Copies of this chain bind each other. A is one copy, B any other.
Amino acid sequence: MVTIQDVAKAAGVSPMTVSHVINDHPYVRETTRDKVQQAIDELGYRVNIAARNLRTGRTSTIGLAIPEIDRPYYAQLAARIVAAAGRRGLRVAIEQTGATKENELSTLATSRNRLYDGLILATVGLGFADRELLNVDFPVVILGERIFDGPVDHISMPNVSGSAAAVEHLIERGARRILMLQGNELSELGMPPLRLDGYRAAHERAGLPVDEALLIPVPAFTMQAAREAVVAAVANGLTFDGVFCITDSMGVGVLRGLASCGLRVPEDVKVIGFDNIDEAEFTVPSLSSIAPDHDEMAETAVSLLVQRIEQAKRPAPREVEAGFRLIERESSAGRVER
């Protein structure tokens, strides 16, 4: 393995000068720089990042912990975070937590091994009881939900307002019995209850009663779980003319399930999702959705984290709620036929 010493020897300079060259420091004479660069090329020298990390205490890498990389929502979010970090010269290491609290905490723990300069944690498992565990002297930004007060920055989704807008939209379109698939209940203060709050708020504003039978818990936020739930609901004789899905992936599953049941969307049932994943535009019918400003979320998350990394004295915890737009597509078009 070629070291900085070897290059220095070959170029007839000191290791320090080589270091200056590879780090693009000024105050290196043009001729010296060329000489060193030539030695680097000839020997095929590459910096040893581990050594640099040890010496500087920085890794230029941030961790991104997400439940599962193969869920479209998180994949698309990860792509944006990688891009935002790249603009600042930071690498991103993606970790899967499997949506379990233990793994989320262990990611937090190993991050503090100085593997990363900071961590963006898209959490679904942590709750109020874990807030103390986030009280770490390490830059962390929580992404996704405003689930508890704590000593870290939060970027949260417009859970309540977005859900209310989605349900209001269905009501405007004539839906009166709106099914809600509630997702799992990992956290007592997680995302599903907040979106349910939005659902209730929209009903209240419209003067509509909420039929609790229409609130269906589902074991996961997946296409599969949603399809099964909606098919079962129809089989059980539940009647409804609208469905609010708390994630678009669930929306895709619902559209599929309704098609299997012979129900027409949007004529018989209007459907709307949440997240505006890329796929929503390509379903048949295309899926209306609440579109949080993902670019803003990614940019803000990285920006807050970088501030925390660079500032010696930790700023007070900050909270940002992303904006959103309602995207109308075919699945909620027209008015309910009665």
> Chain A residues in contact with chain B, CB under 8 A?
46-51, 53-54, 57, 59, 61, 68-72, 75-76, 78-79, 82, 91-96, 109, 112-115, 223-224, 227, 252-253, 255-256, 259, 278-279, 281-284, 286
- With A82-B96, A256-B286 given, can you name 18 additional A-B contacts, CB distance below 8 Å? A46-B112, A46-B113, A50-B50, A50-B53, A50-B57, A50-B114, A51-B54, A53-B53, A69-B82, A70-B278, A72-B72, A75-B75, A223-B279, A224-B281, A253-B282, A256-B281, A259-B284, A283-B284
Q: Is the CB of B70 within 8 A of A75?
A: yes
Please list 6 pairs of residues, one from A and one from B, whose beta carbons are closer than 8 Å in the complex, sorted by A's number.
A49-B113, A49-B114, A50-B59, A70-B79, A94-B94, A223-B278
Q: A255 — which chain B residues lie within 8 A by C-beta? A: 282, 284
Is the beta-carbon distance between A69 and B69 smaller than 8 angstroms? yes
Residues of B within 8 A of A96 (CB): 79, 82
Task: Given A50-B53, A75-B70, verify A256-B284 contact (CB < 8 Å).
Answer: yes
- Chain B nearest Cβ from A131, distance in angstroms: 18
Q: Is the CB of B49 within 8 A of A115?
A: yes
Chain B, Cβ-Cβ closest to A96: B82
* Count of chain copies: 2
A31 to chain B, nearest CB (A): 26
Task: Give, as a whole number of angstroms, the nearest-CB distance from A76 to chain B.
Answer: 4
From residue A118, how far is it (CB to closest CB) to chain B in Å?
A: 15
Does A75 lie within 8 Å of B69, measured CB to CB?
A: yes
Interface pairs A-B: 4 shortest CB-CB? A50-B53, A70-B79, A75-B75, A50-B54
Q: Which of A92, A114, A282 has the most CB of B within 10 A?
A: A282
Q: Could you tell me the distance between the alpha carbons of A129 and B90 in the complex, rounded to whole angstroms?
A: 31
CA distance A61 to B91 in the complex (A): 14
Residues on B with beta carbons closer than 8 Å to the beta carbon of A57: 50
Chain B contacts of A253 at CB under 8 A?
282
A114 to B255, CA, bound (A): 47
